[in-house]
Amino acid sequence: MHAVRDIIVLILLIGGYFFLAAGVIGLIRLPDVYNRIHAMGKCDTLGCGLVLLAMILLIPGTSNIIKILIIIGLIAVVNPVMSHLIMKTAYESGTPMVKGTVTVDVYDTKKGKLPQEEGEQQ
Amino acid sequence: MLDAVLNFYSIGLAILGLTALYRAYSGPSPTDRIVAMNMINTMVTLYILIYCYRFNQYHYIDVALLLVLAGFVATLAILKLLRDGRII
């Protein structure tokens, strides 16, 4: 019984470490703020979720398991929100992108209006 | 066997956190430092949970829960400081 549990826990831990290491390597190697935010979102959600599932299999007690489930849900909800807010702040404060990026500014974030609406008003 | 694996796993988490600390030290923009801070926060949360299983002190799960919430609030505060120039 415990041998099967240990093998499942090992597989989950190794998978989680793969995602965490991929996120950290992306954080070091990628050339841009926006690319690094992309690496961080994947790493945090998937790696943290897999390691916490392994901890659910290990730790006894119903209340402890419920607390870890709350942590998983919290990370799954909070982490995309945080990535989006960091990305929006970096874009509004004019952080330079990597050379060769093609952007289309659909939404003018400074004024809060679409540029087509401004043209129609003039 | 699992205890030895968890010992080496915590060392590996420490290596990943220190590698992310390099980006927090030498990030060209403040947003880079925020991203690295989030990564380090994740590593510390996982390390607390592994510690709590390894030494049978299960009330440390509350510490991990609070750390996730405090990291979110800290990120929001720093982002508001970057956008508006003031927090409150």
Give this complex's ipTM: 0.88
| CA distance from start to end of chain A | 75
CA distance B2 to A114: 57
A interface with B, Cβ–Cβ < 8 A, is 6, 9-10, 13, 17, 20-21, 23-24, 27-28, 33, 36-37, 40, 43-44, 47-48, 51-52, 55, 58-59, 61, 64, 67-68, 70-71, 74-75, 78, 82, 85-86, 89-90, 92-93, 95
Question: Is A89 in Cβ contact with B79 (below 8 Å)?
Answer: yes
Per-residue tokens: A27 = 């954080």
Contact list, A10 vs chain B (CB under 8 Å):
2, 5
Measure in Å the smallest separation between the Cα of B20 and chain A Cα atoms.
Answer: 6
CA distance A112 to B88: 23
Contact list, A27 vs chain B (CB under 8 Å):
19-20, 23, 35-36, 39
Question: Is B45 in Cβ contact with A71 (below 8 Å)?
Answer: yes
Chain A residue with the nearest C-alpha to that of B31 = A90
CA distance A86 to B76: 9
Overall domain count for chain B: 1
Overall domain count for chain A: 1
**Number of Cβ pairs closer than 8 Å across A and B?**
106
> Domain limits at B79?
2-84
What is the arithmetic mean of pLDDT over A51-80? 91
> Domain limits at A110?
2-121
- Residue A108, pLDDT > 90, answer no
Q: Model confidence at A122, in pLDDT bands (50, 70, 90)? A: very low
Pick from A33-42, A73-82, A106-115, B18-27: least confident: A106-115
E strand or H helix at B68:
helix B60-84
Q: Kindly list the distances between the CA atom of residue A117 and the CA atoms of A91, A111, A122, B3, B61, in Å, as whole numbers in the listed order.
A: 22, 12, 9, 63, 52
Please write the tens of the pLDDT for every residue from A69-102: 999 999 999 999 999 999 888 888 878 888 887 7
Q: Kindly list the distances between the CA atom of residue A16 and the CA atoms of A37, A111, B32, B35, B58, in Å, as whole numbers in the listed order.
A: 19, 43, 23, 19, 22
Q: What pLDDT score does A69 carry?
A: 93
Q: What are phi and psi of A79, to 5 degrees?
A: -70, -45
Contact A23, A43 (CB under 8 A): yes
- Residue B70, pLDDT > 90, answer yes
Q: Kindly list the distances between the CA atom of residue A54 and the CA atoms of A75, B36, B86, in Å, as whole numbers in the listed order.
A: 16, 25, 41
Q: What are phi and psi of B86, to 5 degrees?
A: -150, 160
Q: What are phi and psi of A113, to 5 degrees?
A: -130, 155
